[in-house]
Structure formats: C-alpha cells, structure tokens
Structure 1
Amino acid sequence: MQLTLDDTKNAKSDKPVFSRTNPFQAKVLKNINLNGTGSSKETRHVELSLKDSGLSYKPGDALGVIPSNDPELVAALISEMGWDEEAVVTVGKQGETMLLKEALTNYCEITLLTKKILQGAAAFTENEELQKLVLVENAAQLKEYCNGRDLLDMLREFGPWKATAQDIVSLLRKMTARLYSIASSITANPDEVHLTIGAVRYTAHGRDRKGVCSVLCAERVQEGDTLPVFVQANKHFFLPETLDKDIIMVGPGTGIAPFRSFIQELAVNKATGRSWLFFGDQHAASDFLYQGELEQYQRDGVLTKLDTAFSRDSDQKVYVQHKMLEHSKDLFEWIEKGAYFYVCGDKEHMAKDVNEALLTVIEKEGAMDRDAAEAYLKDMQQQGRYQRDVY
C-alpha cells in the first residue's frame, strides 16, 4: 500500500496518541452530586474536557480513569511501618525510581490483597498466623482473608516485619485503571465526556473502606483539576446500526450511564425508532438520576416510554424486573417487532433477575415452555439484539 503525502504527514504528526499506557490529562469541567437530600447514596456526575486530545468514542464505550490512592491511607501505611516517605524506591519492569510517597500514592495498588502478596510477605516475618495462612492446604482461608482487606490490614496483623519499604513495594501490583460506562454522546457534546460514578463507601473488618476512584471523584477532585483518562471501546454494547430500530434499556442506579449516551445520540440524530427506558433506585425524591433530562426527552418524543421502580417508596420492594413483568404484553410485542434489549449495571443480582424476568415474559406472552424461551433469547443474543454491560 502506497502512502499519500497526507498519510505520511499524519504518520509523522507530532500529536501524541493517548491510550491506556499514555493517558490524557482531562480537565474536570463539572463535578456534582446527583442525589438529593436524605439519600443514602452519592452519585457523581463528572464532565471532562477532551479538547485537543484526539480522543473519540461511541455510545456504549467506557472511559478508563487512572486514580491515585487516598492520602490518608498512604500516610497510615507509612506511619505503621515507620518508613521515610522520601526514601527512593524502584517500581515496575523498567525499574523506574520515585519517592516512596509518590509510589504508594500514584503507582501501587494498595487497597487489594492477593494470594501472591501474602505469599511474598511471609518471607519478611516470622508471624505464625501468616506462615499457616499461606500453606497450600489453607487456600480457602487465604482467599477469604484477602476479601475486603487491604495492605494496611496485612501489615498491622502479621508483624513484626523485617522488610524494607522496597521489599513491600516490590510485592505490589501497578495501579489498574477503573473503567466507567460513558454517560454522554460526543455528537451531542463535542470535546466532552461525561461519567456517572457511585461513591463506594463501606465498613469491613473494623475499618471504613473507600472505593479508590469513586471516592477520589467524590471527595478530592475539584472542577479545574485533571484526571488521567483513555477510551476503552466496547464491541459488545452498542446502538443498532440504523436508528429506525426500537430499543429497550434497563439501567437502574449508575446503570443509567450508557443509556444517557444512547438517548443523547438518538436525540441529536433524530432517530425514528422507539425507545423505552426502565430505571430504578431507592427513593424517587432523592435518587431519580437525571430525572429532569429524562422527562424532557419523553416530552420531546425522543424517549417513547419511561418506567421507574423505586424500591424503598412502598412496603413491597419494587425493582426494574417487576416493572418489566407488569408490562410483559407490550414488552414482548416490541421484541417480536425486532427491538434491541439492553441491560447495564449490577451483575450479581440485577442482571440475573432481569434475565429471569425476560425469560418469563417470553414464556408467557409467546406461549412457550422454558426451553423454547431460552432458545428464543439465545437467538436474540446471536443477532446482537440482547446486549449486557454488567459489572
């Protein structure tokens, strides 16, 4: 293949290509809490600038954010071990050197424990409990120990340590990017990318825990700051090629994110297909994310149907799958006419319950037995008409 003059110019372009290994520093344009007073949740709507990044994305794609660790947790680790935060340590395969505080803040994963870390740490202590825990026959207990604990727990529980800061840093993995479904359409918001991030906070093993990236966004990232980001394409979650197809979207909680991107795309392209959104959360008054926008889209006819389930507003807990069953006749009619069905959100419970409800709808309205309903759903999946983005 011969290169034209233009191609050569592009190939030699001085513009950096931003990626997972070379993230773009995106400026924070907006960072607001979407939940109202009295909510037990905190969901951040974060708008980032992609100006001059050359980055683009499609509805359904994800944004990778490379976070930094909580300074309080870093300080607690350094204090626990009596380390010098300005000691120089070596990290990574390339043998990069940096100050200990910098390594623990921006380079190392310190909130996750693995079998490998505990096995490696056992060489630096005579603590009998740890020596026992890493034995092959105690694999189940070891796995159980790692669940919900972090590096600080391990260092507190299994000392005294005869390890240098370098010894411990060498056991740790490199910080991994956190992926979030993109909540905007680039066509509707040129040079911008929006995220919907639920702040993760919980107590386990006697200590308060915080999600590394979600609480960074909730507590420490201000408008004007930057976040290192890259775009992660999602080849298994996308709008139909032509926007005359009907779509059904099920996205409770932060699962709404990609569907905000879908709906913006439908609006800007004046799509002719119908769209139906099922959204759910705890309370209508405080947890109806993007309520004003969604209701406006419904008034404008961009969103054909909007059904909500607020689980804590009635004696019986009502979830999105209950709303699907309530509308089973219409739902099956849309599917029979070729509608695409999308689910985004919690993999553990919600996605399973929605799958179960979908099978029930197909069984009941299609007058099929369970095997036939499962075959019908499998066929939808093979046609790309049943897509899931679950985590």
Structure 2
Amino acid sequence: MQTGLASIDSDKLSSLERLADGLGPAELYWIAAWSAARAEQVRHGTVPVQAAKATGERLTILYGSQTGQAKRLATQLSTRAEAAGLAVRLVRADSYPQRDLAKETHLAVVISTQGDAEPPDDARGLVEFILGKRAPKLPGLQYTVLGLGDSSYPQFCAIGRQLDARFAELGASRFAPLGEADVDIDAVAAPWAEHALDQAKKVLGATQPVARVANLQPVPSRVAYTREHPFAASVLDNQAIVARDAGRDIRHVELSLEGSGLSYEPGDAIGVWPENPPALVDQWLTLLKLDGEQPVHHDGRELPLRRWLSHERELTRLSRPLIAAVADASGDEKLAGLLRPDRSASLAALLAEDQPIDLWRRHPAEWAADELVAVLRPQTPRLYSIASSQKAVGDEVHLTVAVVDYEAYGERHWGAASSFIAAAGDDHRVPVFIEENERFRLPKDSARDVIMIGPGTGVAPFRAFVQERRETGAGGRNWLFFGNRHFTRDFLYQIEWQAALRDGSLDRLDLAFSRDGDAKVYVQQRIREQGRDLYAWLQEGAHIYVCGDANFMAKDVHAALLDVAVTHGGLSQEHAREWLSDLLQQGRYARDVY
C-alpha cells in the first residue's frame, strides 16, 4: 500500500481524497471494484484510446458551487462526456491551477451567483484572476458557461455573465452559448448540457464511447432519497426557543431519519420541500376570483388549481420574469420600467421587500387559472443548515428555523418553508433530503482550533460543530461569537452554550445583543474588540467559520477581519485582503451565507 501511494504525486492523492470525501461504504466498495477492473484493462491494453490521445485535447469542466447545485450539474456533464468517449477533467474552482488556463483548449464552466453578484467562495480566487489584469490571452480556447442564479435577486446570474463576456474579451470563442438557469435549474441546465455535449463531441472529434467495465454492478445501497425523491421525515419535536415577547418565532425542530439510510456531516444542509400556507393560497384565490377546484393542465399534468398553488408553485418570492409578466398583463409601464438597467436600485428594493401577491394587489389584471400556473415559478426546496451532529443524535436531524410571519400593507404575509415547518406537529411528515456542503467542514486535524461566528439562526451549524467535537474528543479549542437582539428573549441555545463552557467543549463565548443598550452592538464589533486574540489564534492555525446573512452580516464580518489583520497583524489593506483570500483558498476561512 505504501509503495503504491509513494508512486502517486501529491496532487493526485489530494484529488482522490476530495473524490472519496463523504462517500459511504457501498460507494467506496464500488469504486474499489471499478478500479481493480480498470487496472486489468490497462495491464492487458484493452482500455479504448480516447479522443484526447489522438488530438491532445480534452474537455475541462470547472465548477464553483455554494450549495452543491453547480457541482451536481458539472458532475453529471462529466459523466455523460466520458460515456460519449471524451477525455474529461472535472475540477472544483479552488483546486484549479490558474496557470493551466492558458493551456486549455476546451472549457465548460458551471458557476453560481450568490447574493448581490458575488461568486461562490470556492471560486472567488479564480474569478478574480480571470476578471483581473493577470488573466492570459486565450485565442486558442473554446468555451461555454452555465450560470446558476435566482431571479428574485437583481443581479441574476451576474458571475456567469461576467465570465462569459471576459473569456470572449480575452480572445476565446464559444462552442456553446451562455446558459442562465433560475431556481428551476434543470429547465435550462438540461438543454444547455445537451447542446454543450453535442458541440463538444464535434469539436473534440469523439466517435467511440469509452468501454464499460464488464459484469460490474454497483453494490446496492439503502440510500435512495434525493432532492428529486425526498424522505418523509416524522416530527419528533417542534418548540419555540425564544421568549413569547421576542417579537418573532424561532423554532428548534427535530426530525426522524430512521429507515432512510440518510447520513450527514456537520456543515451540511437539509433540504425541505414546503407546502404554501393554506391561508396564503386562499388569499390568492380570493384576490384573483378563481376557483381552487378548477382543473388546470400544465406541463403534461392536470391538477386542481388549489393543488398547483399549495404544492407546485412559488408564491412567496418575486422574480424578474414575474414582474415582467404582471407589468405586461396590467399594462403598467412604470412597473416595466423597473427592469431597465438604470433602475437596478429600485428593482432590488422591490425584490427584497415585496411578495408576488403584493404585485397583484397593486397591478390588477384578469388572470385565467392556466395563465397563472404558467407564469408562476415552480416551487423549490429551502435549505437549512443542520444544527446537530449525527454522532450525537443518531437517526435524527435538528434544524433552527426563523418563522417568516409579518404584517405589511395591511395584510398578513408568510414564508413558505418556515410556516410549513412551524405548523408541523407529531402527525406530520416533512419531505427532506441532505445537501452536502464540502466547503463547510470541520478541520480534519481535530487538534486545530476553530472560531465560529454565527449570529441569529446562523448559530445552527455551530451547535453541530460543538456536538461533533465533543463526541470525537477533538483536542482543539472552540470559540463562538453569537449575537441577537435581546439576551433575555432570543439567546438561542443559551443553556447548551453555558453547559458547553462548563464541560470544556466550548472554550470562549463572545456575545452581542443589539437591542439591550443605548447603542446597537453586533458580532463584528466583538470581533474587533477581541482582535488581538483572534489574530493570534489564526496565526497558530485556527479555522474560522461564518454563517448567516450574506448581504449585511457576512460583509461586515469580512470587513472586521480585514481590520483585525491591519491592526494586530501590521498588514496593509492590500496584504490583509490577500491574507484573507489565502485563508479562503486553504479552506481555513469558510462561509455558509444566504
């Protein structure tokens, strides 16, 4: 074993470790069997020569992913390309050597856009390199880009668009056009992948598929539950963890995974397929004067309108296409004008503050039931950071959910998933799946210190981290920064943190309660106050994690960390930015922001 490993260079070993990370025993046994069969083919010279052997070219597939969707699509494209006989290299953006870009001949990029036109954390360094002055000219490159985004944000698919335009500016040519996928990802991703693969086969000249390994069958696995086929988890516990006068409802929810075969690691998320609140569906039917029992045929299915609205359609998030449709139906030119590039600030405010029903109330028009179903986006799952370690809770998964329920414009508004979860009692089943987050993992070296910054419900994954470190006897220190509005009303998991301080599974706890004093205090201020010790921990090899709001908190925390590096590390602003960027590249600075 040691002799074999010694013959493999460190880059290949790292790639193997990344590929194997998170796989279960059944999948690892299958890979072992496949590798053995492949070795025999190589030994006997029976492995087909791929197109790259003749042309010296391959298809490189790069992905940048925050929630796992870009990785899923890139992996699917890679599998299909290999089956079609293409030489393929699949690489996560932060593992891609930037010097290789100048050598590429055929490149497919699958990348998401986060929040306000931000790249995913694993692609931040590569995106900055490609968009920056050091990027090489690329006259020999043929490329295609698939951008993933959410049209409820004003900068829809901005990173995908920027990369597509930049490659062209650097002299490259497209072998397939830019794809821009909304939350209904596969509606765009599937035809984009089909076209990209067809074009890749033409330009790379593949004619014979790669031979399959004969008589090799995957080891059966109990794990059959996915995003497309979720597990119906029963509710074990569902309780408020804030005071009655907190002004909002935050819940701790425990679900049973017994019999599912699902497993997860601290840092992963759980996907929940929600149902829209019945009262919200009634609002829609009343406002639009439609019959909920009317059958509606759409996309090859026929369902009552009420079922479409309760289970199949997005009712709580605005999007650019929906605004355009309402503007067109109502003839409101002012509303349509919000979609112009010079009105981006007004559009951003509308997308952030209003729900679709608010648009219908202000811009009335007659809608037939089939037209309504066609114009609304499909319902999509919501992701929640898992608040438990499976080593501690077994066949359970715990969530921390802030319930969206508020008054606006004289009407009650709800969130889809949070209201669905809040209403789930002992007799309910919640459709769930596990969404891996390989970029938000505890350090493999358990002796490393960890710093966790999680205000509000952003503390959820750090409950899992502390449980995991306690269960495994990790030797490193644990430091938590937590913030919320009031100490006495919404100090989430207060008793658990105090117990963790007593038993040594939490070494430091810094708190910021913004509404308890005359001046508002947030976690970023505590970071600056404790900057000397925080910088020392990081210099000694600590990992730092941030979870929570992407638009404000995460940016403010990032700015505070830069200030810490300048003040206590003696770095210039430019070198502080490089220092944080390097921590990101190393995986020692990880963010789970939304």
What's the TM-score once normalised by structure 2's chain length? Answer: 0.60
User: Using the alignment, how far apart are the partners of 2:348 and 2:516 within structure 1?
Assistant: 38
Q: Please name the residue that 1:186 is paired with.
A: 390
Q: Does 1:270 align with 2:473?
A: yes
In structure 2, relative to structure 1, the CA distance for the partners of 1:156 and 1:370 (3 Å cut) is closer
User: Using the alignment, how far apart are the partners of 1:329 and 1:18 within structure 2?
Assistant: 46
Q: Please name the residue that 2:273 is paired with.
A: 66
In structure 2, relative to structure 1, the CA distance for the partners of 1:339 and 1:77 (3 Å cut) is same
The 8 Å contact of residues 28 and 227 in structure 1, kept in 2 or not, is answered as yes
Q: Please name the residue that 1:36 is paired with.
A: 243
Equivalent residue for 1:152, pick from 354, 357, 360: 357
Q: Please name the residue that 1:380 is paired with.
A: 583
User: Using the alignment, how far apart are the partners of 1:143 and 1:249 within structure 2?
Assistant: 30
Q: Please name the residue that 1:339 is paired with.
A: 542
What whole-Å deviation, never above 9, does each CA across 1:58-77 have from its counterpart, x for those lacking one?
A: 11011111111111111122
Q: Which has the higher contact order (CA 8 A, sep 6+)?
A: 1
How far 1:78 moved relative to its partner? 1.5
What whole-Å deviation, never above 9, does each CA across 1:162-187 have from its counterpart, x for those lacking one?
A: x4211211111110111110000111
The 8 Å contact of residues 388 and 463 in structure 2, kept in 1 or not, is answered as yes
1:216-295 equivalent positions in 2, closer than 5 A = 216-218=420-422, 220-295=423-498
What residue identity is the alignment partner of 1:23? P
SS at match of 1:298: helix
In structure 2, relative to structure 1, the CA distance for the partners of 1:193 and 1:88 (3 Å cut) is same
In structure 2, relative to structure 1, the CA distance for the partners of 1:316 and 1:164 (3 Å cut) is closer
The 8 Å contact of residues 108 and 169 in structure 1, kept in 2 or not, is answered as yes
Q: Please name the residue that 1:169 is paired with.
A: 373
Equivalent residue for 1:87, pick from 294, 301, 308: 294
Aligned length: 381
What residue identity is the alignment partner of 1:377? L
How far 1:368 moved relative to its partner? 2.1
How far 1:38 moved relative to its partner? 2.4
User: Using the alignment, how far apart are the partners of 2:337 and 2:240 within structure 1?
Assistant: 46
Structure 1 unaligned segments of length 5 or more: list them.
none
Q: Please name the residue that 2:413 is paired with.
A: 209
SS at match of 2:544: strand
If each structure's helix is expressed as a fraction of its own residues, which one has the higher value?
2
Equivalent residue for 1:53, pick from 235, 257, 260: 260
What residue identity is the alignment partner of 1:99? P
How far 1:144 moved relative to its partner? 5.7
Q: Does 1:364 align with 2:571?
A: no
User: Using the alignment, how far apart are the partners of 1:314 and 1:110 within structure 2?
Assistant: 38
What residue identity is the alignment partner of 1:117? L
In structure 2, relative to structure 1, the CA distance for the partners of 1:261 and 1:142 (3 Å cut) is closer
Larger Rg: 2
Q: Does 1:134 align with 2:336?
A: yes
Q: Does 1:354 align with 2:561?
A: no
Q: Does 1:108 align with 2:313?
A: yes
What residue identity is the alignment partner of 1:77? W
Q: Does 1:304 align with 2:511?
A: no
Q: How much identity, in percent, do the aligned residues show?
A: 42
SS at match of 2:271: strand
In structure 2, relative to structure 1, the CA distance for the partners of 1:151 and 1:323 (3 Å cut) is closer
User: Using the alignment, how far apart are the partners of 1:369 and 1:136 within structure 2?
Assistant: 41
How far 1:122 moved relative to its partner? 5.8
SS at match of 1:43: strand
Relative to structure 2, which stretch is displaced further, 252-261 or 347-356? 347-356
User: Using the alignment, how far apart are the partners of 2:322 and 2:392 within structure 1?
Assistant: 45
What residue identity is the alignment partner of 1:164? A
Q: Please name the residue that 2:301 is paired with.
A: 96
What residue identity is the alignment partner of 2:336? V
SS at match of 1:312: coil
The 8 Å contact of residues 339 and 347 in structure 2, kept in 1 or not, is answered as no
User: Using the alignment, how far apart are the partners of 2:520 and 2:350 within structure 1?
Assistant: 33
The 8 Å contact of residues 148 and 204 in structure 1, kept in 2 or not, is answered as no
Relative to structure 2, which stretch is displaced further, 245-254 or 139-148? 139-148
User: Using the alignment, how far apart are the partners of 1:213 and 1:34 within structure 2?
Assistant: 18
User: Using the alignment, how far apart are the partners of 1:61 and 1:80 within structure 2?
Assistant: 40
In structure 2, relative to structure 1, the CA distance for the partners of 1:51 and 1:157 (3 Å cut) is same
Equivalent residue for 1:330, pick from 526, 530, 533: 533
SS at match of 1:277: strand
Q: Structure 1: which 4+ aligned runs deviate by more than 4 Å?
A: 2-5, 135-139, 141-147
User: Using the alignment, how far apart are the partners of 1:250 and 1:144 within structure 2?
Assistant: 28
The 8 Å contact of residues 29 and 224 in structure 1, kept in 2 or not, is answered as no
User: Using the alignment, how far apart are the partners of 1:351 and 1:280 within structure 2?
Assistant: 13
What residue identity is the alignment partner of 2:230? P
Q: Please name the residue that 2:161 is paired with.
A: none
How far 1:9 moved relative to its partner? 7.7
User: Using the alignment, how far apart are the partners of 2:562 and 2:353 within structure 1?
Assistant: 34
User: Using the alignment, how far apart are the partners of 1:203 and 1:320 within structure 2?
Assistant: 28
The 8 Å contact of residues 133 and 142 in structure 1, kept in 2 or not, is answered as no
In structure 2, relative to structure 1, the CA distance for the partners of 1:168 and 1:236 (3 Å cut) is same
